[in-house]
Amino acid sequence: FKAFETEVVLQNMGRKAQTLNWVNPKQVDKAARLNKAKQLGPAEVRAIEAEEVVFSISPERCILRPKEMLSFTIRGYAEKQGGVEEWLKCKIVAGKVNKTVCDVHMTAAIMKPCMEISTNSISYVYSYEKDVLLRPQMAPLTLRNLMDLNLDFSLKTQTPFRVDQADWTLAPNEATTVNVYFDPGYKTEKLSNTVKNKLNVMYTDMPHRDSIDLAAEVNYPNLKLSTAAVEFGAVLNDTTKRVNFTITNVSKVDCVYTWVLAEDKDENPSASLKKGASSRVLAAKVLSLSQVYDICPIRGVLRPGESEVLEASYYAHANSRLNATAVCNVEGGPQYEVALMSESSTIKYSIDNPTLSFGQQLYQKGIDKEITLQNSGRVPFNFTVNLEALKRKSVLQIWPLEGYLGPNEKAVFKMRITPGIPDKIYEKFYIQVAHFEAEEVVITGEGIFPAVQLSLPRVFDMLDVYEGFLDLARANVAARGPRKDAPALNASRTLKARPQSGQTEPGSREGEKKASMAFGGETTKPVDDDAMSVASAAPTVAHSVAPTVTPTMGTRKTLKRIKIDGDVEMEADRLQLCSTLIAIQAKSDAEEKAAFEETLKSSLTMSSTKLTLEERLSASMQRPLSAASNKSKKTAAKIPKSPKRDGNRGEGTMRVLSQYFCDLGHVVKGTNKTKKIKVQNSTGQPVSFSFDKKMMPAGVSVEPEHVNKLAEFDSIELALTLQTGGLTPGKLDVSFNIDMKNGPLVQLNLSAHIQQPEIELSAYTLNFSRVQVGHCKCITVQLTNPNDVPADWIIRKPMEKVQDWNFFRCVPSGGTLYPGQKLNMQVFFEPAAVRSEYRQDIPLKIVNNKKEVRFTCLGEAYQLTLRPEPAVVDLQPILPNTEEPNEAFFSLWNDSEVAIEVVSLDFDQAFLEDDEVTAYADGYDDQDRMLLPPLEAGKGLWPHLVEANLARKAALQAIADAEEAARLAKEERERRKAEGIEDDPEAEEEEHIAPQVEEAEAQDAAEEHPQDNEIDLEPCTSTNVLYIGPPLSGKTTQAKKVSERYGSLMFKLDDCITDLLQNDTNPWGFPAPIEAPKREPWGKVIPQDPGIKQWHDTMMARVKALQVLLKDKLHTIMNPPPPPPVVVEEEQVNPKGGLAKGKSMAKGKTPTDKERPLTPPAGAEVVEAKAAPPPPPRKKKKKKNF
């Protein structure tokens, strides 16, 4: 809206100057609220800022002197229409005094310009009419001022519109008419168009504007051409090429058109003939345009919106080039030009690589190759690819199969070559270019396959067919020759097959013929090297074995081991794989062909046209090809992606090439059994394979699971583990595959028999009957393993009812029983007290079997009872040195059931001799016990112990004699040396040889009686008496009397210590007081006294003898004697008990010392004798059961 203003005059009527300040309260309030709103948010700030303050005054602040008058200008401006009311306050400012002088009430009515316009839009229409003069068009426009004020405005517009007067002033309610003109001839190109513009009404000093829409439509006869140039390109000589284009009447009036041909200004027809033109075209001849180009139809009329297809034709004179312009004259409209460009030439092309060789390639893996077809001339042409010559359609995928090539363009054929079979490939196809003879393209190479060989027997469903392949393979390998760079395979080949009816004899001519026909050949004769596939294999490593028949995998299969080397086996596998793949591919091709014919037949039936199959195929081959490739210099095609298929499991591939058999035999339930399998790469390229964990049978695992790039002819060891924890006992037959990367599967058939270990006992109740306390009775129980797996067992103490556990023991208490093995376990009963019943259940725990085997041991114990009367013997007092002793008599009563032999432990010389025999006897165990058969009362000791003791004494005597002879010889030498007599060399030699001879004789005696090796060489039969008491109690007096009476040696400990300190005698190794004597290598001091020296030499001889005996003992421990004979039935126990001489242990034979077992035979009662290890002789112990 327009700004407005007024003036206010103030006069100072006082006598002081006043400072005046004008304030708009609305403005002050807005500023205050705006400061507060900034703390709230941007929305509140925008709302306050949108409030409008209309009035302002200037100057706002001034000083008015006395009697002075000043004029203030009040201005107003509003952007909104309507009434406005505000106050302006004038205040006097004097120090702190702020006094209002006057309030000015301001009001205003805000109005926008208001004018009535007769119309909001003006339209004009002009259409071409023949012979009608072109004039401007006029339209009137009425304007009226509806305001109460005068209204000044101006009218403005643009060409092709104009008004007769631009500036106007209208009084209130005044009206006027304005003429608005439109010129339809403002453009000279005579093209139909539509013009839109506005007639603007602009008010003086006001921003508000009004406008009137102006629109004009001009209609001339116009055409639209589908192209501005027709490029015929290079056309084959003496041929005609036609190109269609379309014209359309896009105007609202009829179009009358006529075509004429015009030469280009720069084109000289006579110069357009190329050098070297054909002789049938004259170089000087000028060609007219009508002889080269033509347009049909040449004239016509098109109604509005109609279209017409025109044909432009070009006749190619030999090797010429001519450009022209086709002009379309439209009546009352513009002219349209179409450029005509062409030339004539011949077809020229080239194929860069007509022979493709892909070398060795995995038979299932495709290799991408490219060949390029290039148009090297100026004439475009069509091309097609003919694949009918391919022997196997699956070998080649090529794209594009047809196309169009412009001048200097290239077509790149993308090919994916898949050998499909592991054999040499020779295929060819043809590329047809225009009308020329088809070009041949040859593909060569060799398909190979990854394969491994396992150190396991192979399994075949049709062994006779495979043997036919073996015969062909031998012929091929013989013609080709073995591979020299391949190492030998470390496995002899075993073949298994199910017998089937109708099979031919392996190795027969009929079998060879079947194998050859299965591969696709006609005869079984060896093929030449060109037609034969070269497979990588190894030299001959095999042995001929007689055929056998064994049941495996739950069925009867023929097991045959034949002489075959790795090279022949690989070749046979290749032939078998080729045969299978060709058969599968032939079946797939037949199914696809049948499906295609069925689809084509259905489409022919549904079609309304009656065409034969050949006509439809011909029509489909003759469809016009797209010329879109003209826009690019190079045509690069891509092979369409085929659906993904698993190379090992898709149709057209062989699922399993070879099958192997692994028999783990019998496996214990709950254990893991692992078998090492050697896998060898039998090809000339790295192979990768893996095991799918999801497809593995339950409980079967293989390590490693993935093998990547196993080198040529290299091998790796796989660990096949069967975990039987979660499997059911019984026969197990499973199979799983080795996934060969880019190759056929290898199947592994696993067989095992899972069993739980069991043990059977010959008796489950052992009755020991009556056994004497202190004796031990043994019953032998036979353990048998009835199953085919080892059984680990152990005797364990039960958790309950173990009252009599310590009285029974089993030897051995654990071990392993192998399939079918039997073991004799000895159960000993050793009662400790008289009881009427001993009873104990003994559990036998079998590893990996939750069920225990229990047997019960029963027994009864009795004890020998000897009763003296009286129980106490009183010898009455006796005086010292009395010659007659006091005597007393007592009686012994045997209250037992058996005879008892009674001896005096101190006065019976026979008992002392028997005690010496048992003390040095061999055969004590780690608990210082030796088990022997019971002796009858009144009988002597066991003969073998007595004989051993006599041999021991003889050996000691021989050693003593040798030492005495050595001592005498030494004294003789010293005497002769002291007297100055020279030594006789022969005597010295005899002296040196004599100890050696004696030592050898002693060694022979020790070998004849090895039981004496652990007995002291110098036994002590005397009794050592030690007197201990307080001082002056008579110890020395009593010791002297006993020594004088028995002729024994007596010494005091104090005298021994005093003698050692005074004399240089040191038999126990104490250091000498003056000088250190010589020492042995182990540090002991050599005594100086001759007597002690002799005793020292004797001790050293004993030490050396003990070393020899310990060596023999170790040899006996490392090489234990054979086990005792098996005794199953319990022997009768002598009910009388008592002492008894040696009895035969088995079948009446008394064993020697070497054959004597450590434990007695079953059912025999034994005497337990205590003994201490020699030497020195230990203290005699009281022997039981004597």
**Does residue 1156 contact residue 1164 with C-beta atoms inside 8 Å?**
no
Q: How confident is the model at residue 516 (pLDDT cuts 50, 70, 90)?
A: very low
Give DSSP secondary structure letters for 795-832. Answer: E---SS--TTGGGEEEES-EEEE-TT-EEEEEEEE---
Residue with tokens 């004399």: 1063
- Report CA-CA distances (Å) from 424 to 190, 395, 651: 75, 12, 22
Q: How confident is the model at residue 646 (pLDDT cuts 50, 70, 90)?
A: very low
Most confident of 85-99, 280-294, 606-620, 1039-1053: 85-99
Query: Which two structure tokens, joined as six digits, stand for 19?
Result: 């400072």
Residue with tokens 């225990």: 852
Residue 786 is predicted with a pLDDT of: 92
pLDDT higher at 270 or 733: 733
Give the C-alpha separation, 557 to 663, whole Å: 14
Query: Which two structure tokens, joined as six digits, stand for 275?
Result: 């050098």
pLDDT at 641 over 80: no
Give the C-alpha separation, 939 to 506, whole Å: 82
Give the C-alpha separation, 518 to 572, whole Å: 12
Three-state DSSP state, 1073: coil
Amino acid at 446: E
Three-state DSSP state, 899: coil
Most confident of 122-131, 458-467, 1131-1140: 122-131
pLDDT at 845 over 90: yes
| Interval 409-423: pLDDT, tens | 999 999 999 988 888
**Does residue 283 contact residue 273 with C-beta atoms inside 8 Å?**
yes
Q: Which of 95-109, 620-634, 995-1009, 1083-1097 has the lowest mean pLDDT?
A: 620-634
Number of CB atoms found within 10 A of residue 403's CB: 21
Alpha carbon 1097 to its chain's center: 76
Residue 245 is predicted with a pLDDT of: 93
Task: Dihedral sign for Cα 274, 275, 276, 278, please.
Answer: positive
- Report CA-CA distances (Å) from 164 to 200, 209, 835: 14, 20, 155
Residue 519 is predicted with a pLDDT of: 33
Torsions phi, psi for 1022 (to 5 deg)? -80, 165
Which residues make Cβ contacts (< 8 Å) with residue 546, sequence separation at least 6?
A: none
pLDDT at 1111 over 90: no
Query: Which two structure tokens, joined as six digits, stand for 1065?
Result: 């005698």
| Interval 580-614: pLDDT, tens | 888 888 888 788 778 877 877 776 665 444 444 34
Task: Dihedral sign for Cα 606, 611, 617, 623, please.
Answer: negative
Residue 1039 is predicted with a pLDDT of: 84
State what percent of residues in the chain have pLDDT above 70.
72
Task: Dihedral sign for Cα 534, 535, 541, 544, please.
Answer: negative
Contacts of 513-518 with C-beta under 8 Å, sequence gap 24+, read 513/468, 514/464, 514/465, 514/468, 515/465, 515/466, 515/467, 515/468, 515/469, 515/471, 515/472, 515/575, 515/579, 516/468, 516/472, 518/465, 518/468, 518/579, 518/583
> Which has the closest alpha carbon to 220: 178, 186, 253, 264?
253
Question: What is the mean predicted confidence (pLDDT) over 851-873?
Answer: 89
pLDDT at 33 over 60: yes
609: β partners: none
Q: How many CA atoms lie within 13 A of 665 on its CB side?
A: 8
Which residues make Cβ contacts (< 8 Å) with residue 416, sequence separation at least 6?
A: 366, 367, 368, 369, 396, 397, 398, 639
Write down the H helix ranges in 172-246.
Answer: none
| Interval 986-1002: pLDDT, tens | 555 555 555 555 555 55
Residue 497 is predicted with a pLDDT of: 52
Kindly give the pairing relationship between strand 324-330 and strand 255-263. antiparallel
Give the C-alpha separation, 900 to 877, whole Å: 33
Question: What is the mean predicted confidence (pLDDT) over 270-294?
Answer: 53
**Does residue 24 contact residue 58 with C-beta atoms inside 8 Å?**
no
**Does residue 440 contact residue 430 with C-beta atoms inside 8 Å?**
yes
| Interval 188-230: pLDDT, tens | 888 888 999 999 998 887 778 889 999 999 999 999 999 999 9
Give residue 206's region: left, alpha or beta (phi > 0; psi -120 to 50): beta
| Interval 236-281: pLDDT, tens | 888 898 999 999 999 999 999 999 988 766 554 443 444 444 433 3
| Interval 799-838: pLDDT, tens | 888 889 999 999 999 999 999 899 999 999 999 899 889 9
Give residue 593's region: left, alpha or beta (phi > 0; psi -120 to 50): alpha
Q: Which of 452-466, 521-535, 1111-1125 has the lowest mean pLDDT?
A: 521-535
Which one-letter DSSP state was computed for residue 1079? B
Three-state DSSP state, 369: strand
- Mean pLDDT (the chain, rounded): 75
> Which has the closest alpha carbon to 209: 112, 119, 79?
112
